[in-house]
Amino acid sequence: MIKKPFSLRIRLFISMMILVLISAIVIATITAYRYKSEAKVYHQSRLERKEQSIKRHINYILRRTTYPVKTVNIPLIFKENGRIYELSEIHKMPLIIYDLEGNLLLKSNESFTKDTLQQQIPSAVITQIKNSSNKSHLVSYEREGERFKSLYTYITDNKFKPLAILNLPYVENDDLVKKDIRAFIKNLAEVYLLMLVLCVVVAFLLSNFITRSLKSVSEKIKDTRLGLHNKKIVVENVSDEIATLVTAYNSMIDKLEDSAVQLARSERENAWKEMARQVAHEIKNPLTPMRLTIQSFERRFDPSDPNIKTKLSEYSETLIQQIDTMSTIASAFSDFAKMPKRKDEVLDLNDVIDSVVDIFPEQGVYFDPSKQTIKINFDKVQLVRVVTNLVKNAIQAIPTKRRPQVLLITKIVGKIALIEVHDNGTGIEIENKDKIFEPNFTTKTSGMGLGLAMVKSILETYEGRISFETTLGLGTIFKVEIPLHHK
C-alpha cells in the first residue's frame, strides 16, 4: 500500500522544525568541542607556567644553599626546613624529584605518589627527556575516570648541568568546564525553545500564504473541463513561482478553449461524414432492387400482353416496398439526429414497463416487477422507446431455433431505480463489447445499429446509465440505472 505523502503545509512545518533542531545540535556540539579544546590548551599552558615558576624558585634555592650543589645533596637541600613542602604549598602542586637514572629521591605528597606515580621513571621517558630540545617531556594518561599530565624536566646548576629530574604531576580538573557547558546548553535550549515557538508561528503563516494561492489554483484546475468556458485565475501578491504557475495555467486555458473548438468542429464534421456515409449506404440498398425492377419492367413491357395489369401490379408493389424501406431509414436517422429535449414527468416505472410488455404478448416476454412503487423523473415517450428498443434487441439476439425467453426485472438499489433485461440469446462476442453502444454498429443482417446508441443517449439526458453482462451461448443482461424521484 502506497502511503499518501504529507501535504505541503505539514512538510513546511517539519522542515523548519528539523532545521531549528539541527542548528541547535550543531551549535551545542561545536560549543562543547570548543570548550574542551580551550580547556585542553588551558591545562597545557597552566602546566608550562607552573613549570617555569617552580624551576625559577628551585634555582633561587640552589643559589642560596650551603650544601654543594650536587645530585647526592639534592634530598638534603630540599628537605632542609621543609623546602619541598613549601614549594608544593606555594605553587599548589605536588613535586617529585628523581636522580638522573630515574630513581626516586624525594617527593612532597606521599598519598599522591602512592596513587599515581611509580618509584622509577621508565627508561623510555628518560630517553625522551634527553632527546627533547627543551629538555622536558610531557606524559598524558587516564586513571579511574580522571585525566593526568606528568611533566618531566631537568633541575640544573648555574652552569646548566643537569642535577636531577623534576616531575610535576597534574590532574586535569574539568568540573568548571563541564559546569559551563551545562549552563550554556541550558541557555541554548531556552533560546531555541523560544525560536521553535516562533518558527511554528512563522511556518503556519508562511504555509497559509503559500497554500492559499496553491489551493486557489488547484480548485480552478479541478473545475477545468474540455468544452466548457473555464475561468482564468486572478491572484495578487504571490511569489514568482506561483505567478509562473498561474500564467502557465491561464495560457493552458486559452489553448484548451482553442483545442475544444477545433475538437468540436472536427467531431461534428466526422459525425456528419459518418452519418452521410451510413445514410448513403442504407439508401443504396433499396435503390438497387428498384433499378433492377424498373429495367426488367422496361424490357418485358408489352401493352398487348393479357397479364399486363398483374405484372404492373407486381412491379408497383416491389417499388412501394423499397420506397417504404427508404422512408423507414429516413425516419430512423431523423429520430436519432433530433433527440427531444429533456421533459420530466413523475412516472411509475412498473406501470410503464407493464404497458410495454403488453406489446409483445406472443414473444415470450415476461415482467417481474418490484414490490415497491418506483417513482422516477422521465419522459414517458422516451422511457417507452428505451424499454422497447431493449426488448426488441433481446428478442433479435435469440436464435430462431431457440424458444425466446426475455425477462424484465425492476428493483430499487439505494437511490437508483434498476431495470434488468435478461435474454437467452447467443451473448456478445468479446471483440464487440466496446462497440455495442456505438452508432451504426450492428451484428444483425438488417437494421442500422442505432437502437442501443439511441437508448444510451436518452439515458444520459436523464442522468442515467446503461451497462451489460454477457455469457457467450447463454445470453445477456442489460442493466439500466435511473435516479429515483426526490420529493
Alpha helices in 223-305 (DSSP H): 240-300
Lowest mean pLDDT among 69-73, 228-232, 433-437: 228-232
Q: Whole-angstrom distance between the N-terminal and C-terminal Cα of the chain?
A: 43
Residue 25: DSSP 8-state? H
CA-nearest of 270, 96, 252, 255 to 170 is: 96
Q: Report the topology of domain 8-178.
A: Beta-Lactamase (3.30.450)
Q: 267 falls in which pLDDT band (50, 70, 90)?
A: low
pTM for this prediction: 0.39
Q: CA-to-CA distance for 238 and 486, rounded, in angstroms?
A: 45
Every domain range in the chain assigned CATH 1.10.287: 241-337
Q: Looking at this protein, which amino acid is placed at residue 144? A: E
Nearest to 213 by CA among 192, 190, 239, 184: 239
Tell me the percentage of the chain whose pLDDT exceeds 70. 67
- Give, to the nearest 10 degrees, the angle between helix 240-300 and helix 308-337: 170
Average pLDDT over residues 160-181: 77
pLDDT (0 to 100) of residue 421: 93
Q: Tell me which residue of 150, 178, 182 sits closest to 165, measured CA to CA.
A: 150
Q: What residues does CATH 3.30.565.10 cover in the chain?
A: 345-483
DSSP 190-201: HHHHHHHHHHHH
Mean pLDDT across 355-361: 81
**Using CB atoms within 10 A of its CB, is residue 214 exposed (0-12), middle (13-18) or buried (19+)?**
middle
- If you ran DSSP here, which 8-state letter would residue 433 be given? G
CA distances from 207 to 22, 53, 242, 312 (A): 21, 65, 13, 90
Does the pLDDT value for residue 360 go beyond 60?
A: yes
What pLDDT band is residue 7 in, cutting at 50, 70 and 90? low
15 sits in which H/E element = helix 8-64
Would you say 63 and 163 are in contact if contact means Cβ atoms under 8 Å apart?
no
Q: Which of 18-32, 344-358, 379-393 is predicted least confidently? A: 18-32
CA distance 102 to 217: 86
Residue 449 pLDDT exceeds 50 = no
Task: State the chain's mean pLDDT as an integer.
Answer: 76
pLDDT at res. 39: 76
Q: How confident is the model at residue 73 (pLDDT cuts 50, 70, 90)?
A: confident
pLDDT of residue 420: 94
CATH class of 345-483: alpha beta
Q: State which H helix or E strand residue 63 sits in.
A: helix 8-64
Least confident of 277-281, 375-379, 441-445: 441-445
The DSSP bridge pattern shows strands 96-98 and 162-172 to be antiparallel
CA distance 416 to 483: 5
Model confidence band, residue 476 (pLDDT cutoffs 50, 70, 90) = very high
Structure-block grid coordinates of residue 283:
439508401
CA–CA separation, 470 and 477 (whole Å): 6
Q: Which residue has the higher pLDDT, 276 or 350?
A: 350
Domain with CATH 3.30.450.20 in the chain: 8-178
Mean pLDDT computed over 32-36: 78
Bigger pLDDT: 370 or 135? Answer: 370
pLDDT of 238 strictly over 70: no
**Residue whose C-alpha cell is 438488417:** 446
Angstrom distance (rounded) from CA 39 to CA 167: 22
What is the Cα–Cα distance from 230 to 219, expressed in whole angstroms? 12
Residue with C-alpha cell 485565475?
Answer: 233
CATH of 241-337, one of 1.10.3470, 1.10.287, 3.10.20, 2.60.40: 1.10.287
Q: Kindly report which listed range (34-38, 333-337, 455-459) carries the lowest average pLDDT score.
A: 333-337
Cα(244)–Cα(330) distance, rounded to whole angstroms? 55
Quickly state the pLDDT bin for 184 (edges 50, 70, 90): confident
Q: What is the DSSP letter of 89?
A: H
Task: Kindly report, residue by residue over 311-354, the tens digit of the pLDDT.
Answer: 777 767 767 766 766 666 666 565 555 555 677 789 999 998 98
The C-alpha atoms of residue 270 and residue 276 are separated, in whole angstroms, by: 10
pLDDT at position 440 over 80: no
pLDDT at 156 over 60: yes
Which residues are within 8 A (CB) of 250 and not within 5 positions of it... i.e. 6 or more apart?
A: 232, 233
351 phi/psi in degrees, rounded to 5:
-65, -45
Strand duo 406-413 + 365-368: pairing: parallel
Tell me how far apart the alpha carbons of residues 414 and 97 are, in angstroms, rounded to a whole number: 104
By the 8 A CB rule, do 356 and 421 touch? no
The answer, yes or no, to whether residue 199 has pLDDT greater than 80, is no
CA pair distance 349, 80, nearest whole angstrom: 129
